[in-house]
Amino acid sequence: MRIAVCIKQVPDVEERLEIADDGKWLDENEMKFVINESDQYALEEGLALAEKTGGEVVVLSLGPDRVQDALRKALALGASRAVHLADDAFDGGDAHATARALAAAIGREEFDLVLTGAQSDDAGYGSTGSMVAGMLGWPHAWLVMGFEVEDGGGSAKVTREMESGMNELFRVALPAVIEVQAGLNHPRYASLKGIMQAKRKPIDRPAPADLGLTGEDVGAAGSRLEILDVAFPESGAGAQLIEGDPAVAARTLIEKLRTEARVL
């Protein structure tokens, strides 16, 4: 099978977050970047399926030059080549604009399946993959916990997560866009050999015009949403904060739980 995997490079949310001076987003200079968590699982799913069916994985990502690190990592894990939508015009897009660029890049080739994570850990729209499917005229499934390709690649049986611990089972025709939830497999580690080979694998960097698009279709110009500012959520109205020496803090807490909140 020929499989496209869309990945996003995102700030490591476990690190300390600093808001940029203009207030619109993080100060990226201070951030560590990683491959978005659910995209790591999508990549593993694609690599395993390509191995099983004797196919290949092409990895796509949109973002500035730093994204090359994420693509090299995907190549080291086993993807055969990469498409990097690195042109400045692609920058600052919402789900609509990013989907338009990805769909155009995917549409230049023949793929049997597109995989991606269900949601990014930064913007968190949870929409981009589904919109890509709509633009390609393919079925999609969001929040997928597992799937099996059937019928010689003609369809897939999908397990999708619902609320309250239930899963929904259904079949979709391929090609389709499958957006996976984190936790459905065990992502592999790169081997030394893989890392060496990755250096020689090609990374294509098409501009909007190469995809039949203009700068107005993509990035901030092609977006319907504009972020005005970001802020830490208002600090808890009622939260009493206890700081300082752990032994003293522990005693204060237990005291309060016993006498003030009366829950112990």
Partner 1 sequence: MSKKIWIVLQQREGKLHRMSREAIAAGQQLASALGGTASAVLLSSDGAVAGDVLAYQLDEVLTASDAALADYTPGGYVGALGPAIGAEAPDYVLFPHTYQSVDYVPRLAQETGAALVPEAVSFEVSGEEVIWKRPVLTGKLQARVRVKGGGTVLATIQSGAFPADSAAAGSTQARSLTVGELVVDREILGVEQAGEDEVDLTKADIIVGVGRGVGGPEKLGPVEELARLIGGDIGASRPVIDNGWLPRDRQIGSSGQTVAPKLYLAVGISGAIQHQVGMKGSSCVVAINKDKTAPIFNIAKYGVIGDLHEIVPAINEVLAESQD
**Which residues ranging from 132 to 151 are in contact with partner 1 (CB under 8 A)?**
133-135, 139-143, 145
User: How far apart are the two ends of the chain, measured CA to CA in Å?
Assistant: 59
Question: Strands 81-85, 203-204: parallel, antiparallel or unpaired by DSSP?
Answer: parallel
Q: Nearest to residue 101, comparing CAs of 223, 203, 1?
A: 223
| CB closer to partner 1, 162 vs 209 | 162
Place of tokens 């995809």: 211
Q: Is the dihedral angle over the CA atoms 167, 99, 226, 123 positive or is it negative?
A: positive
* Residues 193-222 interacting with partner 1 (rule: CB under 8 A): none
Interface residue with partner 1, options 130, 175, 217, 218 (CB under 8 A) = 130
| CB closer to partner 1, 149 vs 182 | 182
Place of tokens 């049986």: 157
CB of 124 to partner 1, least distance (A): 6
CA dist 157 and 110 (Å) reads 21
CB of 55 to partner 1, least distance (A): 24
Interface residue with partner 1, options 165, 189, 200, 202 (CB under 8 A) = 165
Q: Taking CB under 8 A as the rule, does residue 251 contact partner 1?
A: yes
Quick one: tokens of 208?
A: 């909007």
| CB closer to partner 1, 119 vs 198 | 119
CB of 15 to partner 1, least distance (A): 10
* Residues 3-42 interacting with partner 1 (rule: CB under 8 A): 11, 13-14, 16-17, 19, 26
Which string of x and - marks every residue 85-124 that binds partner 1 (by CB under 8 A)? ----------xx--x---------------------xxxx
Residue 5 β-bridge partners: 59, 115
CA dist 55 and 8 (Å) reads 23
